[in-house]
Amino acid sequence: MPIPVIRCSLARTAAILTVLLCVLPLLAQDATTLQKQADDLSNESKWPEAAEKYSAVVKADPTNGYVWYSLAECFLQMKKFDEAANAENNAIKYNFRPLLSQVSLARIAAAKGDRERALQILATVAKNPKAPAVRPMLVSATELEPLKSDPRYKEIYASMKPCAAPEYRQFDFWVGDWEVRSPAGQIVGTNDVTLEQEGCLLVEHWKSSEGVQTGSSFNYYDIRDKKWHQLYIDNSGNAGAFPAMAGSLQEGKMVLLTDAKDGSFSRWTWYEVKPGAVRQRAEQTTDGGNHWNTTWDSTYVKK
């Protein structure tokens, strides 16, 4: 009689599914609790206790990259180097902070006394465009101290200097202490443009000739979209008065655009007229770029 057997199988399957639906949330809750307990223990440098709980979490969820990364740190502090490297490789496998995990692998190699392997890993890290972000970890890592007198380490660390690529220097022609003049030659204000954050940020400090209007802009190259961006805020109290802009260097001119809205947007252009002189021009279109009206035109002359 096949029909009763089928009904029995379906009933059993339904029962199993019901149990799973009840149990799985509890397991997830237990894992969350264990992870928090492990984090607290890790913060207190109770490495063996933290490792035990982190291990339980990854046993339940092997894809938890954060926990693998945290477990690797516990093993490293416990001098269980092979276990630490395995955990760190799992953190990389599940894409949790792969660059930091690579630095941790270098720390593990250095702690084992494998100087060559540590330097090899750090050299690979240094080639990543995001390498400057991990410099604080290199500075604070006690495991890397024996390497810091090595000329190869010094070269690797120096290569991680941020914003050293040519793209970051495209707007440097605007850096300086400027007198700003109208097309007729009248002084309309001053502008001190400084290079800050180790060359990663251009900051504009504008002041009108009347001394009433002031404003600052933050200009930076973003490796994510490979564009220059500007955010300008003045003392009007209206943060939306000057929409954010983005663009690129085009034939020696820095061209930044606001987002288009109903065919209307602004275009600002900077370029060097001659050494010590930069022209800044703002234009606006209301028909998608077919026609442009000039809204600001000035020449910067170095003081």
Question: Residues 244-295: pLDDT tens digits?
Answer: 999 999 999 999 999 999 999 999 999 999 999 999 999 999 999 999 999 9
Torsion angle defined by CA atoms of residues 197, 254, 218 and 241, in that order, rounded to the nearest 10 degrees: 180
Q: What is the Cα–Cα distance from 2 to 14, expressed in whole angstroms?
A: 19
pLDDT tens, position by position, 178-234: 999 999 999 999 999 999 999 999 999 999 999 999 999 999 999 999 999 999 999
Structure tokens at 103: 């630095």
Q: What is the Cα–Cα distance from 222 to 201, expressed in whole angstroms?
A: 10
34: which residues sit within 8 A by CB, 6+ positions away?
53, 56, 57
Specify the pTM. 0.77
Burial of 14 (0-12, 13-18, 19+ CB in 10 A): exposed
Q: Which fold has domain 2-159?
A: 1.25.40
| 21 pLDDT higher than 60 | no
**Domain residue spans in the chain?**
2-159, 166-302
| 44 pLDDT higher than 50 | yes
Q: Which fold has domain 166-302?
A: Lipocalin (2.40.128)
Residue among 164, 157, 160, 107 at smallest CA distance from 132: 160
Structure tokens at 48: 């063996």
Q: What is the Cα–Cα distance from 210 to 232, expressed in whole angstroms?
A: 20
Instruction: Give the pLDDT band (50/70/90) at residue 303.
Output: very high
